[in-house]
Structure 1
Amino acid sequence: MLTRKQYQLLVFIDARIQETGISPSFDEMKVALSLKSKSGIHRLIMALEERGFIRRLPHRARALEVLKRPDRMERDKYAAPSAAPAAAPAFRPSVVEGRKPAERAPLAGMIEAPLIGRVAAGVPILAESNIEAHLAFPAVMVRKGGPYYALRVKGDSMIDMGIRDGDVALISSSDTAETGDVVVALVGEEEATLKRFRRRGSGSIALEPANPAYETQIYRPEQVAIQGKLAGIFRAY
């Protein structure tokens, strides 16, 4: 079963593709669902992809394909957002440039993940949700979890854990964390940072660097949204 927001986003994407042949931008989806941050759209897309309703097409901007529509129970339960145009009666999946790409078999023993912007390891930067590329990682080298996405590390605040500026961090999507986990945390719905997560009682959350040159950041629980847990670090030489 889909949540209301997942259903509304799926209907909006499907209607926009059928109308224009191009999937909507993250900003358009954010406005259609009345969300404050593009990170919420990213989580909804990851959930729809995990459930097999959509897929992201590699090496193309704004490239989403709708694979299936909700069942009748979900259609009856939820209404589409007012910003979404009415869906056509017949379901005809469309993709960017008006053609369906050739089917590509998954790589054996590999995990594929979209590379999404950059995450700060130091001073937080504005979260970016644009997909730069799709990457493949050896499954035997990755912590179990998923679905996955990848982020470029910027800064040196996690250097004592061997995480360097320019590394690619593979992240297992999750909205919860335990004390001691290295997480991607969205601070104030606008900025993302890679830090070690610790709870301090019920009143505060600490985001700890792994570099004595940086200070631990303390926030109220409502200021921090967990975006995922570190599953692996990859580096090019």
Structure 2
Amino acid sequence: MYKSLTKRQRETLDYVTDFTKLKGYSPSLDEIKDHLQLKAISTVHEHLENLRKKGYLTKEINQSRSIEIIDPNLQNSNFLQIQNLGVITAGKRIEAVEDPEPLYVSREVLAGTGKYYALTVRGDSMIEDGIHDGDIVVIREQKTATNGDTIVAIVQENLATLKRFYKEKNRVRLQPANSSLKPSFFREIEIRGKVVSLLRKF
């Protein structure tokens, strides 16, 4: 469980875990500082941020007692940690997330090896493919696609869109999965990846 953790990070994680099990809520930053005999709250922030980046816990910004330990059963070879990089809306730039949270995705739903990331969908342009507003799509990074693939494409002026890809004679057709919307046509596009899985929060 403690792979790649420093001694202080292990001590911080142990204290937060034990405190939460005993009290039913997470310790405050001051309580962590006092227990570890640290001189500054900033050092606590540093340890917690490193633990968050390594996938051991989550923490809400500017919210007290909001530390949550991630189930260690998810930290094994059957799951892959990826980052949600932002929000994708048809015809707009990807809205980057200032503090992206890690997502744990079962390797069984991924398309083999490769690099993966996630994006949150805004809008209903792909609703007939079952991709709804607020869904999270898992993307495998790749620069090519075959007809019918749902891709993340960068089109004019660095605008991003999520559409089905079709290569035609002298152009590319990006097809929405919404019968009320028309396809878009381009001479060239930049493919940033292919949708391989869908996550939905209920």
Superposition deviation, residue 101 in structure 1 = 3.8
d(CA) in 2 for partners of 1:104, 1:215:
41
Aligned: 1:154 with 2:122? yes
Match 2:112 to one of 125, 144, 158: 144
Indicate conservation of the 8 Å contact 2:82/2:103, yes or no: yes
Structure 1 residues 114, 200: CA separation in 2 closer, same or farther (over 3 Å shift)?
Answer: same
- 3-state SS of 1:140 partner: helix
Identity %: 32
Native 8 Å contact 1:127 1:190 kept in 2: no
Shift of 1:132: 1.9
Instruction: Look up the match of 1:213.
Output: 180
Aligned-CA RMSD value: 2.4
Report the number of matched residues.
137
1:198 aligns with 2:166: yes
Partners of 2:92 and 2:77 lie apart in 1 by 35
SS at match of 1:160: helix
User: For residue 154 of structure 2, what is the aligned residue in structure 1?
Assistant: 186
Tell me what 2:94 maps to: 127
Match of 2:139 in 1: 171
TM-score (norm 2): 0.61
Please identify, of 183-192 and 171-180, the stretch whose mean Cα deviation from structure 2 is larger: 183-192
Give the letter for the 2:177 counterpart: A
Give TM-score, length-normalised by structure 1.
0.53
Shift of 1:141: 2.1
The 5 A counterparts of 1:107-122 are 107-120=76-89
- Per the TM alignment, residue 146 of structure 1 is displaced from its structure 2 partner at its CA by 2.3
Counterparts of 1:124 and 1:214, CA distance in 2 = 13
Q: Pick the structure with greater CA Rg.
A: 2
Superposed CA offset, 1:50-99 (max 9, x none): xxxxxxxxxxxxxxxxxxxxxxxxxxxxxxxxxxxxxxxxxxxxxx9599
Offset of residue 189 of structure 1? 4.4
> Which letter maps to 2:92?
I
Letter in 2 for 1:226: I
